[in-house]
Amino acid sequence: MNNLVPKTEWIKTWSDQGVGWIQLSHENKLNPLSAGFILAIKDAAINFDYDQSIGCIIIIGSEKAFAAGADLKEMVKLNYASVSQSRYIENGWLDIPKIQTPIIAAVKGYALGGGCELAMMCDFIIAREDAKFGQPEINIGAIPGAGGTQRLTRSIGKSKAMFAVLTGDMMSAEEAEKNGLVAKVFKNDKFDVSLNEIALKIANQSKPLAKLAKQAVNVAFETTLEEGIRSERALFYSTFALEDHIEGMESFSEKRKPVWKNK
């Protein structure tokens, strides 16, 4: 575990019109998340984050699953000493939420356990109508370990999160949207087109403004209201230093579309 190698053969990446795509393509269509697999996903996301042409990142799985959980063949060999000494969760998992470029989790089929946690690390989730979400770790002798108890509670509230974690029951896409876990649900035949439209809309925004907006919302997720208001105010003031702030104001007054300079 101390000499982890990113499993780059299990992901496909490409870019199109300012959108960076990361497809989870494990030989097992359920996309079991091993430590090396997560490192490869993290590395791909960081590469897109540093690419100045990319304004939005999408993480998407197979037709069958976004990711149906951790790689149990890997986990069954581990013990307390090995997971703590190797920093099993710290490797990769903690880096994905630090990406500055907006990230969408595009979920078809199952997003369970680590797959649900990975989806929640993204900025929001777009789900196909057949998507299923859940934290079933308790059924296999564990609890969520990559943020599941924390992010799920913040997304859907203590009572519903407690129910999900203690029962291990799955949540439908419709229920997940109703509870606030998912931003949008689309029917199977509308999913790909709708996902691409949303991603392009974000990618075509001013990149520095989008990153500041993402940072401001994340502060609300992570701190008190008073601290959040203070941080938002500072970020708002900082937009006045951007050329895109001037362009946005002028284009609005001139009733035309803005031409962002991304600076």
Q: To the nearest whole number, what is the mean pLDDT of the chain?
A: 93
The phi, psi pair for 28, rounded to 5°, reads: -90, 115
CA terminus-to-terminus distance, the chain? 41
207-253 fold = Lyase 2-enoyl-coa Hydratase; Chain  A, domain 2 (1.10.12)
Phi-psi region of 147 (alpha: psi -120 to 50; beta: other; left: phi over 0): left
| CB 135 within 8 Å of CB 167 | no
Sorted by where each begins, the domain ranges of the chain are: 8-203, 207-253
The pLDDT tens digits of the residues spanning 114-130 come to: 999 999 999 999 999 99
Three-state DSSP at 54 gives coil
The pLDDT tens digits of the residues spanning 59-96 come to: 999 999 999 987 777 777 777 777 777 777 777 888 99
pLDDT above 60 for 1: no
- Domain 8-203, CATH: 3.90.226.10
Three-state DSSP at 29 gives coil
| CB 126 within 8 Å of CB 105 | yes
Looking at per-residue pLDDT, the higher value among 77 and 257 belongs to 257
How large is the angle between the packed helices 225-239 and 207-222, nearest 10 degrees?
170
pLDDT value, residue 2: 55
pTM of the entire predicted model: 0.93
The pLDDT tens digits of the residues spanning 153-174 come to: 999 999 999 999 999 999 999 9
What residues act catalytically?
Answer: 70, 114, 117, 137
Residue 93's Cβ-side half-sphere holds a number of Cα atoms within 13 Å equal to: 21
